[in-house]
A and B are shown apart, each in its own frame.
Chain A
Amino acid sequence: MGRKVGIEVSIAAADAAALCDVDVVAAYPITPQTHVVEHLAELVASGHLDAEFVPVESEHSAMSVCCGSVAVGARTFTATAAQGLALMAEIVYIAGSMRLPLVMFLSNRALSGPLSIWNDHSDAMMVRDCGWIQVFCEDGQEVFDAIIHAFRVGEDPQVSLPVMVNVDGFVLTHVIEPIEYWTKEMVQKYLPPFQPVSRLTPEKPVSMGAFGMPEIYLEQKMAHNVALLNSRPIIEKGWTELAELTGRKYSAVETYKVDDAETIILGMGTICSTSSLAVDKMRAEGKKVGLVKLRLWRPLPSDDLRRVLAKAKDVVVLDRAICPGGGNAPVTSEIRAIMYTEPERPRIHCMIAGIGQRDVTPDDVCAMVDMALSQSIKDYHIYGVRG
């Protein structure tokens, strides 16, 4: 068993990547991801990590370097946030399509404009359809474990997909938490050496990233979609074996007090900690409220979500991205879509909150639940906006 240390989550995330013995780190510093990149640079400079640290001139180059390094078979890590992700977005889609299993730490930050460095999920939603495995973390231990799990799953030859580990900017990246480190032996036992499905090598030339003519583009997209859907059992297996090593069992959909819940709050990331306190408070008042934490955003665990949500009368989705001009917000949209075909389904309420790191307290969550149940909000409600 590893030792437990009190440490900033960003530093621990960098240590987790280093424990995985990454070969290449290509990243450009951007708030609130900076400490991850700084610490990895320190580890390489001090000789603690034998890796190539590529100090790129932009995020577009960072993701391009990552694609190239995975293509030759190097274990590769990067990190970014909001505007950085926007700049690398073009290559993010290409990494997905080319099935290049790199791991990215995304410190979720609101997209400009107006210019914001603070936390929400609008950056992740911008690249929602890039075809990567995407997970959201609630606490520092999850982040540490998720990075090691990400390499294990993404690099599995049956999966061969990049993985995005979403970490709420500041509210999670910059907090100091007790985190149990894995030992080198644990990581070696859990994470086999990277054996890419295809590799750029002069010994056996292949072409990667070829043109997708109208005759073949659709088939390649279909193959990619199926690969992402089929990654699910490998993701679950990774969590099962992680539990055997660490005693911590993760799952795609986690629940808190939902067994007899009439109302279920659903969220992703740190808002779930806040919501669990709200659940306790409402339970003390005799209200049958529970919480669903959606960890695995892609591939969406539709089966688990249907099973858990079908029993409730009301589902209050806490969405952390605004969808201007849209019908609701990204997470609600998915939940409404997968529940629509169910013979019995709950009312699904869309609460947009925590945008640009507007504070969301347990009382706010209680207020949103009350509002959803007592008022007829049709499409969505933007909570806490003045005026």
Chain B
Amino acid sequence: MTKPMDHITWQEIEPGGVISEPGNASSYHTGTWRSQRPVYDVDKCIRCWRCFIMCPDAAISPDYENNRMVWNFDYCKGCGICAFECPVDAIEMQEEGE
């Protein structure tokens, strides 16, 4: 498949809605659901990786070269768990569009 869901026609649907290509959830960008965005303060961050561990969507990962955490906004739903869990308040949730 890999075609975005909102481009698939009824003729292209597999019989019974079967998904014959496993693991294609990544082609669905759940980041579009986000109403709040995490804002990261690299100076406050102590690199404990708690946000990386807690993120339910594996949207946060360590960037070794630049010695910081990075967010994949294709999949970050803006749930705020990272901001809640951060022990040094290095992550703040802000309304999208602000």
Residues of A near any B CB (own CB < 8 A): 97-100, 160, 197-198, 204-210, 212-213, 215-216, 218-220, 222-223, 226-227
Contact = CB atoms under 8 A, between A and B. Distances in A.
B10 A206 contact: no
B37 to A, nearest CB: 23
A99 B22 contact: no
Contact of A219 (B8, B15, B18): B8
B17 interface: yes
B15 A206 contact: no
B10 A219 contact: yes
B17 A210 contact: yes
B24 to A, nearest CB: 9
Given A100-B16, A210-B17, A219-B10, 8 more contacts: A204-B20, A206-B22, A207-B18, A207-B22, A209-B17, A218-B10, A219-B9, A220-B13
A2 B15 CA distance: 36
B11 interface: yes
A128 to B, nearest CB: 20
A216 B28 CA distance: 12
A197 B13 CA distance: 13
Interface in B1-33: 5-6, 8-20, 22
Residue of A160, A212, A223 with most partner-chain B CB within 10 A:
A223
Contacts of B12: 219
- Minimum-distance CB pairs A-B, first 3: A99-B16, A222-B10, A207-B19
A216 B5 contact: yes
Interface in B25-65: none
Contacts of A223: 10-11, 13, 15, 17
Nearest to B7: A215
A206 B15 CA distance: 12
B8 A216 contact: yes
Contacts, number: 60
B15 A212 contact: no
Nearest to B22: A205
B18 A198 contact: yes
A227 B22 contact: no
Interface of B: 5-6, 8-20, 22
Contacts of B10: 218-220, 222-223, 226
A219 B10 CA distance: 4
Contacts of A216: 5-6, 8, 13, 17
Residue of B11, B12, B14, B22 with most partner-chain A CB within 10 A:
B14
A102 to B, nearest CB: 13
B34 to A, nearest CB: 16
A209 B6 CA distance: 18
Contacts of A209: 17
B6 to A, nearest CB: 4
Contact of A208 (B6, B8, B9, B16): B16
A219 to B, nearest CB: 4
Given A205-B22, A207-B22, A198 B16 contact: yes
A78 B51 CA distance: 51
Contacts of B6: 215-216
A199 B87 CA distance: 48
A212 B20 CA distance: 15
B16 A213 contact: no
Contacts of A206: 18-20, 22
A213 B20 CA distance: 17
B2 to A, nearest CB: 14
A209 B15 CA distance: 11
Contacts of A226: 10
16 contacts: A98-B16, A99-B15, A100-B16, A197-B18, A198-B14, A206-B22, A208-B17, A209-B17, A213-B5, A215-B5, A218-B10, A219-B12, A220-B13, A220-B17, A223-B13, A223-B17
